[in-house]
Structure 1
Amino acid sequence: MSDDQVASSPRGSKTARGLTAQGGGAQGKAAGSQTLARGLLALEAIAGQPQGLTVNEVAQRLDVHRTIAYRILVTLAEFRLVVRSSDGRYRAGSGTVTLARGYAAGVREAALPVLRRTADELGATVALISAEGDEAVAVAVVEPQTVDYHIAYRVGSRHPIGVGAAGLALAALRLPSPGEPAAVAEVRERGYARTFGQIEPGAFGVAVPLHTADPALHLCVNLITAREDVVDAAVPVMRAVAEEIAALG
């Protein structure tokens, strides 16, 4: 059998098809990597804009056609990484919370001893609160062991961001936006929030935002008590606690 016959044999054709498939596979991987990179860039851009981005704005940021941007956003939305609001803008979705929890869990574990010490020192319940979408969620709650009576709540308790001391502290971690409540700007300026009766009737709250190395991770430390004298003494302590925990993270 000649070399020409070998090259034209079915076996030779099969090998050629295999080489073509391998080449196509490499091209497919490159295309897949590009799509992944674009998706991550889109998610990063949206997460950095509390007001969200439109499809056209995402397309401009990625330098791609609007149709491609739309397909990327649809895929991200399927995994709840982004959500399309009624105004047509895409904002970070609940799926990003799951991604962030791995890092937040490390901060939580590091914060617990500090929270226990502070709760006992001030005689009030102290918590670490995380922003999850438009809600403030308690990820760690420590009750004092030094007093017989205190206000308490459970891990997982949540309320809207912008309401209560913790909600205001978390809102202050966001970029300033037109029309935001004056109370948020005040918290951003003075570095802490203090409220009365906004979440629990008759309860005072003090919360301080955490300025961690990761600006996308929005956390605050929060104290709740029925005693005004405790709140008066708590502000400088809570500010120091927030700095300590932020340094641990």
Structure 2
Amino acid sequence: MSDEQAAPTPAGSDTAKGQARQGGTSGKGASGSQTLARGLLTLEAVAGQPQGLSVQDVAQRLGVHRTIAYRILVTLADFRLVVRTSDGRYRAGSGMVTLARGYAAGIREAALPVLRRTADELGATVALIAAEGDEQVAVAVVEPRTVSYHLGYRVGSRHPLGIGAAGLALSSLRLPAPGEPAGAAEVRERGYARTFGEIEPGAYGVAVPLHTADPGLHLCVNLITTREDVADGAVPAMLTVAEELSALG
């Protein structure tokens, strides 16, 4: 997820994504793998909707009968990954917390207090962003409690790698290669990325790559703000925070 991920998810975008991915699992593959794929798509869809999804919503997203969607949701509920609320809709369950704690060898949980402190000190939203293939995804997002107005975005937000401050910071962790995003080499040299308006108009981003003990784990700490002075003044603090978070890995 990148520096300017404050833009709300367009209505129907999750549906489109689910239908696109379903297209890759709807062939004549093994029924077990298709069932697993449907379950994972359902879990991703429910987790991405704070208001929850109904059985019919899930059926439409997967392109399956309501009975199949219901069975998938019941199975996920058995493992507490989703929960059925009084309005009949399904929302993310407590089992998701357990899964999240295991992500990135516990760095996410350990990073949260540091992100909270930094967000409050700088008066801007601060996040831990990870590279997953050719995408960047927000794995922890903390909004400041010290200001009345700020930009924000949800955990799980995704953008292509290489755009925005976080995308450049993450790209800089890879070996130099022809065709890499413009600016990645500069980030390697100066240690941080700073962008403006690359994803969200009017938003500044400052991101610093983490150098953990695991070379395969590509993470960065990222800040978004609408104020240029905050972005400029945040660089020293963000560099210090990145060192602190790198030590956790």
Which residue number corresponds to residue 193 of structure 1? 193
Aligned-pair distance for 1:106? 0.2
Structure number with larger C-alpha Rg? 1
1:166 and 2:166 correspond: yes
CA deviation string 1:29-60 (max 9, x = no partner): xxxxxxxxxxxxxxxxxxxxxxxxxxxxxxxx
- Counterpart CA distance in 1 for 2:151 and 2:178 is 36
Aligned-pair distance for 1:181? 3.3
Which residue number corresponds to residue 181 of structure 1? 181
1:247 and 2:247 correspond: yes
- Counterpart CA distance in 1 for 2:159 and 2:101 is 18
Residue identity in the other structure for 2:207: A
RMSD, matched Cα: 2.1
Structure 2: runs of 5+ lacking an equivalent: 1-32, 38-98
Contact 1:100 1:217 in 2 (8 A): no
CA deviation string 1:131-162 (max 9, x = no partner): 11100000000000000000000000110110
Aligned-pair distance for 1:219? 0.3
- Counterpart CA distance in 1 for 2:126 and 2:225 is 9
Which structure's relative contact order is higher, taking Cα pairs within 8 Å and 6+ residues apart?
Answer: 2
Taking a change above 3 Å as real, the CA distance of residues 211 and 223 of structure 1, as seen in their structure-2 partners, is same
Structure 1: runs of 5+ lacking an equivalent: 1-77, 81-98
- Counterpart CA distance in 2 for 1:104 and 1:163 is 22
- Counterpart CA distance in 1 for 2:201 and 2:231 is 15
% identical aligned pairs: 82
TM-score (norm 2): 0.59
| Superposition misfits of 4+ residues, deviation over 4 angstroms | none
Aligned-pair distance for 1:105? 5.0
Indicate the SS of the match to 1:104.
Answer: helix
Indicate the SS of the match to 1:240.
Answer: helix
Which residue number corresponds to residue 227 of structure 2? 227
- Counterpart CA distance in 2 for 1:201 and 1:102 is 34
For these two proteins, the number of residue pairs brought into alignment is: 154
Contact 2:172 2:187 in 1 (8 A): yes
The structure with the largest helix share of the pair is: 1
